[in-house]
Chain A
């Protein structure tokens, strides 16, 4: 019992650690405006530089406890409050921090300001691990932003650009980007390429599976033969008609496990009846009764016990 508890605790601990780490590592410093003269206004009517954090994952990430800083020598410069329930960022969503230098104005106001040439670091809740960073070019004009734009097939990689049209809190990628279906319509209008690839993949997957199970089957049969040899030598005879061999037991087991309906059960029972020479059921009109040669112990007390989950 102690071992089980310890095992479960260890698993929970490990999964918690890895999940936390995985989630936070999905955060990116995705956009920064250092000199905000005519752009985003905060809830106090002020314009400050701002920092956008983007969640690249498909799950919500809670980033309370993380740190933001512009000083590599002080990674714990601004601590995002852990008690604030709004410090969540949804899947593929972003949040904006105002670099106002007035952290008392709210969780989304940093205690430092930024300027051209600053580098903003997003630091994990351990205060040591830098999750991501973005440098503001020294010559970035006012109201322009440095952004990370999703790139590559999976849109996981990114490239850094500057833009005169900042998008605080919005997706930095091409919002007019084509869907996979539209791309396929252009590249493969008649569908032959996709069909050929798909058929090949289906065949390959099932072919490999068949090869693996041929090998597994061969190994299993070899192992089975080794085990059977001494038994056969002792017996030295063939199974008689009506005898319950492993093959017949397997056939009955398989038949009973399938939910085919009455007529198929009847067909299987009749086939077994043919094979076993009337050995399995009583000769009664329209009634098939499987009569085991040995007692089934159906009324034994152990059969009435409820099986507990393990």
Chain B
């Protein structure tokens, strides 16, 4: 009888109930909240469902030493986590993004690239604030990249500069990307006048196939020569785009933008979520990171919109840019461009800004990869 009791006791010690802490339960609740938001509100469900479920997986209380935790060398989760830790999931996602992104909107109006550059101010605004809050420069750089509104870039840079903060940075970046409509709309409305919101932009010209093929090659050569440290992201982004536009590698492009990116997104979401174990995640540092992440999004949106407003002062009528596309410079493809379209149509139902907003939107992807390369070069 005593053997049975002892065995049951031992079994009890191994259960999640015996090892649970309130922090685990809080993180599990946050995970459930993520899943709820993803399903109910449809905010970035492809990311929030895996991350939310990953949070639950990572916070199942367990007896240490069973070699199943994400931070235990050689466990299944740890093996999958290497793609995040070593930084090879993000470039694969960039390959898929390149293969699915049509740069036509940008090629037809290359001036919109500058809006993508202006919106990167959020990265450096958050960097300055993070330093002021006492973070080391490498940590501040990793936190600042949240303002790039690009999850893979945030994961890549934080894995290289501050792996200890990667969980909080990744969750923060993806959370705010999901909240882009909520964060950006009030800022756009506060910074623009009725007259500005009604500006109609000329239709973008048709882009030839030749231009579409030249873009990834020239774009890659230029950006990679300026910032070689951004090579993994920029190289894969432009390579993916070349697969798409070359016209002779359709199957490769379809795999990159379909099954490949789906597999990697699932794994990156799940493992990033699972990396937010309560003992490593619930801290004042994480709260600071979330605050700085939000600030960086606000700065990025503000800079994008204000940049267009200032630029308009120097443009003739008919060439002016609707400042409602300024927010789209913060990557978050295509959500921020969709916000431009939605807000624009609130004031003029026939003014479609989506095509114009896609220009700064994809420029933001390039801009944030370049910014990540610069930070990596200076701080790694």
Question: A: which residues have CB within 8 A of B?
Answer: 179-182, 184-185, 188-192, 194-195, 197-199, 201-214, 216-217, 220-221, 224, 246-247, 250-251, 254, 257-260, 264, 267-268, 271, 274, 307, 309-310
- Distance of A191 Cα from B218 Cα, bound (Å): 32
Check A201–B140 contact: CB distance below 8 A. Answer: no
One of A202, A217, A271, A310 near B110 (C-beta < 8 A): A217
Check A194–B214 contact: CB distance below 8 A. Answer: no
Write out the residue numbers on chain A whose beta carbons fall within 8 Å of the beta carbon of B106: 213
Check B223–A254 contact: CB distance below 8 A. Answer: no
Check A207–B211 contact: CB distance below 8 A. Answer: no
* Closest residue of A by beta carbon distance from B208: A220
Smallest CB separation, A193 vs chain B (Å): 10
Write out the residue numbers on chain A whose beta carbons fall within 8 Å of the beta carbon of B118: 203
Residue B298, interface by CB 8 Å: no
Write out the residue numbers on chain B whose beta carbons fall within 8 Å of the beta carbon of A208: 222
Residue B319, interface by CB 8 Å: no
Write out the residue numbers on chain B whose beta carbons fall within 8 Å of the beta carbon of A207: 113-114, 117
Other 10 A-B pairs with CB < 8 A, given A198-B378, A205-B370, A220-B208: A181-B161, A198-B124, A203-B118, A205-B226, A213-B218, A214-B110, A264-B334, A267-B341, A307-B251, A310-B249
Known A181-B136, A205-B227, A224-B208; judge A189-B131 contact (CB<8 A): yes
Check B138–A181 contact: CB distance below 8 A. Answer: yes
Check B121–A199 contact: CB distance below 8 A. Answer: yes
5 A-B pairs with C-beta separation under 8 A: A180-B380, A201-B227, A217-B108, A220-B208, A260-B338
- Distance of A211 Cα from B113 Cα, bound (Å): 10
Smallest CB separation, B371 vs chain A (Å): 5
- Distance of A210 Cα from B219 Cα, bound (Å): 10
Per DSSP, chain A at the interface is: helix
Smallest CB separation, A155 vs chain B (Å): 13
Known A191-B127, A206-B363; judge A221-B205 contact (CB<8 A): yes
Check A212–B222 contact: CB distance below 8 A. Answer: yes
Write out the residue numbers on chain B whose beta carbons fall within 8 Å of the beta carbon of A212: 110, 218, 222
Query: Of residues 97 to 126 in B, which have CB atoms within 8 Å of A's CB atoms?
Result: 100, 102, 104-108, 110-114, 116-118, 120-121, 123-124
- Distance of A278 Cα from B170 Cα, bound (Å): 46
Check A206–B206 contact: CB distance below 8 A. Answer: no
* Closest residue of B by beta carbon distance from A307: B251
Residue B352, interface by CB 8 Å: yes
Check B102–A254 contact: CB distance below 8 A. Answer: yes
Smallest CB separation, A123 vs chain B (Å): 32
Residue B87, interface by CB 8 Å: no
Write out the residue numbers on chain A whose beta carbons fall within 8 Å of the beta carbon of B334: 258, 260, 264
* Closest residue of B by beta carbon distance from A201: B374
What is the size category of the interface that chain B forms with chain A?
35 or more
Check B371–A198 contact: CB distance below 8 A. Answer: yes
* Closest residue of B by beta carbon distance from A203: B117
Check B124–A199 contact: CB distance below 8 A. Answer: yes
Write out the residue numbers on chain B whose beta carbons fall within 8 Å of the beta carbon of A257: 100, 102
Check A202–B367 contact: CB distance below 8 A. Answer: yes
* Closest residue of A by beta carbon distance from B367: A202
Check A213–B226 contact: CB distance below 8 A. Answer: no
One of B352, B354, B379 near A184 (C-beta < 8 A): B379
- Distance of A251 Cα from B371 Cα, bound (Å): 31
* Closest residue of A by beta carbon distance from B364: A206
Check A210–B111 contact: CB distance below 8 A. Answer: yes
Write out the residue numbers on chain A whose beta carbons fall within 8 Å of the beta carbon of B215: 213
Check A209–B137 contact: CB distance below 8 A. Answer: no
* Closest residue of A by beta carbon distance from B116: A206
Write out the residue numbers on chain B whose beta carbons fall within 8 Å of the beta carbon of A247: 203, 206
Write out the residue numbers on chain A whose beta carbons fall within 8 Å of the beta carbon of B207: 217, 220, 250
Write out the residue numbers on chain B whose beta carbons fall within 8 Å of the beta carbon of A251: 355
Interface string of B352-366 (1 = CB under 8 A from A): 101100100001001
Query: Of residues 53 to 95 in B, which have CB atoms within 8 Å of A's CB atoms?
Result: none
Check A190–B222 contact: CB distance below 8 A. Answer: no
- Distance of A220 Cα from B112 Cα, bound (Å): 19
Check B128–A195 contact: CB distance below 8 A. Answer: yes
- Distance of A271 Cα from B124 Cα, bound (Å): 39
- Distance of A180 Cα from B374 Cα, bound (Å): 13
* Closest residue of A by beta carbon distance from B303: A199
Interface string of B199-224 (1 = CB under 8 A from A): 00001011110110011001100110
Check A206–B367 contact: CB distance below 8 A. Answer: yes
Check A194–B378 contact: CB distance below 8 A. Answer: yes
Residue B1, interface by CB 8 Å: no
Smallest CB separation, B271 vs chain A (Å): 23
